[in-house]
Chain A
Amino acid sequence: MSGIWIYSEDSVIAKELLTAGLELKVSMSQSVGVITLAGEEQDAFIAAGADKVCILKGQNPWSESYADAVADFVSKERASVLLVGGTLRGKDLAAIAAATLRTGLVTDALTVQYVNNGIETTRLIYGGLAIQTEAISLPAFVTVPPRTYMEAPAMAGRQGEVFTVKVDNIASGISVSSVCPIIREGADISTASRVVGVGRGFGKREDLAMAEKLAQAIGAEIGCTRGIAEDSHWLPSERYIGISGQKVKAELYIAAGISGQVQHVAGVRDSKIIVAIDTNEKAPIFAAADYGIVGDLYEVLPLLAGAMGEK
């Protein structure tokens, strides 16, 4: 078994995974290759460290329909590791490929290492309450969330082998119609340096204005808990923070009306300072916060916005 392969339908993520792949290349002394649907990126991948680039060319644009082709390819290559970009589409494809080849798959790995002839990963379980270290027998499939690694920098004058594989992925049994992009509003909260998080403590959509005032006062982006985005639909889903949502690594995170269930807190734990405002002194958010105010956000937020505004 030889070869570390990387797949993502998103070329930026593929370059992030190259960083992880190149670390493994050192410890496993095996070559690193990229499987891509985006032929035009071939040189960029090689510049970023790929020894090989495999371009899958099929007629069906739906990336999930490449699962069999990816499985096929890695088994032919007798790959020892397949790193997949942990988008929803990526996880879907990885699980299908893993089932086809009867291999182990770890999704949402925080770290990937080569340890005594196997792959060792860490990931969160119980909604972020605990971190689990797992050993996967080779060949090992792993999905890694976007932005876990930096993009591998381009190096001048690298050589690599590029080949194209024709794929018949028409008959996936599924026909896709009307794809409508979700337009991102405002900046990306996962990179924002300050974030105000809103939860079910807000009674009505209009009340979010109070949070926005505070956000303006301190130059923050608005984030939220899953319910606010997915149940109430008050904010777009890319605004929700947590184990299954965005991870924020802010200088300052202010949680208002958020109970602080572990699944949410898992998304803010990398923030430097966490502030919580909640009426319930027993709310778990306070255990996860540096500073907390026990009180009604309807009273506290305007005061805070005022005070911070003056500064």
Chain B
Amino acid sequence: MPKILVCYKWVLDEQDIKINSGNLSLDSSRAKYKISDYDKNAIEEATLLMEAYEGNVDALTFGSDKVKQSLKDALSRGPGSVQWIGDAAFEQADAFVTANVLAAAIRKNGTYDLILCGEGSADSYSQQVAPRLATLLGIPVITFVQKLCMDGSRTIATRKLGDCTEVVEVEGPAVISVLPEINKPRIPSLKQVMAAAKKPSQEIKLAELELSAEDIIPKTVSISVKGYIMNRKNILFKEASQADNVAKLVASLAQEGLC
């Protein structure tokens, strides 16, 4: 009956963010939020483990005041309950602060057999929070996991690193970060969405957590964010006849000295 926690981040959908052509500033006024893509894999994996080993899964998220909107989506994906911290501090939070906050929230809840994270968050993709979290909790971390199973208190994971895969084993609680290939997140069904509406969610106020003042002062400060645009020729060939299009393309490439 493993007790599992999954951490997910509620992020702006980068596909809705526009770059202002003038000063290259970002316009996210029309952007919707989403559960960070790879955290859906983490939630799915936690849920699969729960189903396989009759455990239970809690979800935990730290975000802005908007994070409340994420609870139903998260719960409909499997977790039995969710705890959320919605605070303005999130806007400036770096991985240092985020890990401090999550660790404090986890200590408050007692212990878990496994804590799952995504490989990286869709917005910052810093790939730090999982190892930081493990270090703060004083338990091992296994990153970049493509396959995961449990055997009593042992966890066996296959990691995938650039040049090799390795099977690692850990005894007792650990933090795991999963790769997106580990599973296909489910599309919540009607029954799952209905069930989510009945599941408990609990707000944790930042003030309730045992955090020192420094714990929530970011170590890295954003100086500027600029749209990263490319100037390309954007010449489109869209005649009905592909032969013509190809001919035109080849001619252009010849001009570029590429053939």
Direct contact of A and B (CB under 8 A): yes
Which A residues contact B (CB, under 8 angstroms)?
87-89, 91-92, 95-96, 98-100, 102-108, 120, 124-137, 172-182, 184, 218, 226, 230-231, 237-238, 243-244, 251-252, 261-262, 265-266, 269, 273-275, 281, 286-296, 299-300, 303-304, 307-308, 311
Q: A88-B162, A95-B128, A293-B249 are in contact. Are A130 and B237 (CB under 8 A)?
A: no
Set B19, B94, B179, B246: member contacting A304, Cβ < 8 A: B246
**B204 to chain A: which residues have CB within 8 Å?**
none
- Kindly identify which residue among B19, B125, B222 contacts A244, using a CB–CB cutoff of 8 Å: B125
Grouping DSSP codes into helix (H, G, I), strand (E, B) and loop, the A interface class, with mixed when no group exceeds half, is mixed
- Distance between A72 CB and nearest chain B CB, rounded to angstroms: 13
Q: Shortest CB–CB separation between residue A219 and chain B, in angstroms?
A: 10
B17 with A133: CB separation less than 8 A: no
> Nearest Cβ distance between residue B8 and chain A, in whole angstroms?
17
Docked pose: A134 CA to B127 CA in angstroms: 16
Tally inter-chain residue pairs, CB-CB below 8 A: 241
> B143 at interface (Cβ–Cβ under 8 A)?
yes
B120 within 8 A of A: yes
Which residue of chain B is the closest to A252 with respect to CB atoms?
Answer: B258
Decide: A127 near B122, CB < 8 A? Known: A87-B161, A96-B132: yes
Q: Which residues of B contact A87 (CB under 8 A)?
A: 161-162
Partner of B259, one of A92, A98, A311: A311
With a cutoff of 8 Å between Cβ atoms, the chain B residues found around residue A108 in the complex are 125-126
Residue B195 lies at the interface, judged by CB distance under 8 Å to chain A: no
Query: Is B191 part of the contact surface with A, judged by Cβ < 8 Å?
Result: no
Tell me which of B140, B219, B225, B232 contacts A289 (CB under 8 A). B232
Q: How far apart are the CA atoms of A251 and B132 in the complex, in Å?
A: 40
Residues of chain B at the chain A interface (Cβ within 8 Å): 12, 14-15, 17, 19, 26, 94-96, 99, 119-120, 122-128, 130-136, 139-144, 160-172, 174, 179-181, 184, 214, 218-228, 230, 232-238, 242-243, 245-247, 249-250, 252-254, 256, 258-259
- Alpha-carbon distance A38/B166, docked complex (angstroms): 21
Report A107 CB to chain B, min CB distance, Å.
Answer: 5
Asked if B225 and A99 sit within 8 Å, CB to CB, the answer is no
Cβ-closest chain A residue relative to B232: A290
A182-B163, A252-B258 in contact; A130/B135 too (CB < 8 A)? no
In angstroms, how far is the closest chain A Cβ from the Cβ of B42?
15
Knowing A99-B131, A125-B124 touch, does A304 contact B249 (C-beta < 8 A)?
yes
Q: Are A308 and B250 closer than 8 Å at their CB atoms?
A: yes
Residues from chain A with Cβ under 8 Å of B227 in the complex:
129-130
Q: Are B162 and A238 in contact, CB atoms less than 8 angstroms apart?
A: yes
Bound CA span A12–B127, Å: 23
Q: Would A178 and B166 be within 8 Å (CB), given that A129-B19, A288-B230 are in contact? A: yes
| Known contacts A244-B125, A294-B238, A304-B250, A130 near B228 by CB under 8 Å | yes
Specify which chain A residues have a CB less than 8 angstroms from the CB of B142 in the assembled complex: 174
The answer to whether B140 touches A293, judged by C-beta atoms less than 8 angstroms apart, is no
Contacts of A135 in B (CB 8 A): 220-221, 223
**A226: nearest residue on chain B (CB-CB)?**
B180
12 A–B contacts, CB within 8 A, in A order: A92-B144, A96-B135, A129-B26, A174-B174, A175-B170, A176-B169, A218-B259, A286-B234, A291-B237, A292-B236, A299-B242, A304-B250
Set of chain A residues within 8 Å of B167, measured between Cβ atoms: 176-179
Known: A98-B132, A131-B228. A293 touches B242 (CB 8 A): yes
The answer on a CB contact under 8 Å between B181 and A230 is yes
What's the least CB distance linking B151 to chain A, in Å?
13
User: What 3 A-B pairs are tightest by C-beta distance, nearest first?
Assistant: A104-B219, A99-B135, A95-B131
- A131: nearest residue on chain B (CB-CB)? B228
Q: How far is the CA of A291 from the CA of B124 in the complex (A)?
A: 31
Q: Which residues in B have their C-beta under 8 angstroms from that of A252? A: 253, 258
Complexed CA–CA distance, A107 and B121 (Å): 13
Q: What residues of B have a CB within 8 angstroms of the CB of A106 in the complex? A: 126, 220
Given A179-B167, A281-B236, A303-B243, output 17 extra A-B contacts at Cβ < 8 Å.
Answer: A88-B143, A89-B161, A92-B131, A95-B95, A96-B131, A102-B219, A126-B14, A126-B17, A130-B227, A132-B225, A173-B139, A176-B166, A180-B165, A230-B179, A269-B230, A293-B249, A300-B246
Contact B219 A136 (CB under 8 A): yes
Other-chain contact of A293, B228, B237, B259 (Cβ < 8 Å)? B237
CA distance A94 to B143 in the complex (A): 13
Give A26 Cβ to nearest chain B Cβ, in Å: 22
User: Measured between C-beta atoms, what is the minimum distance from B22 to chain A in Å?
Assistant: 15
CA gap between A107 and B94 in the complex, in Å? 12
* Residue with the greatest number of chain B CB neighbours at <10 A, chosen from A103, A134, A136, A230: A134
Whether B163 pairs with A134 at a CB distance below 8 angstroms is no
Q: For the complex, what is the distance from the CA of A33 to the CA of B231, rounded to whole Å? A: 40
* Contact B226 A131, beta carbon cutoff 8 Å: yes
Give the docked Cα–Cα distance between A293 and B251 (Å): 13
Once the chains bind, are B220 and A104 in contact (CB under 8 Å)?
A: yes
- Cα A307 to Cα B249 in complex, Å, equals 10
- Residues of A within 8 Å of B252, CB to CB, are 291
In Å, the complex CA distance between A103 and B214 comes to 11
Report yes or no: A99 in contact with B136, Cβ–Cβ below 8 A: yes
Q: Are B246 and A303 in contact (CB under 8 A)?
A: yes
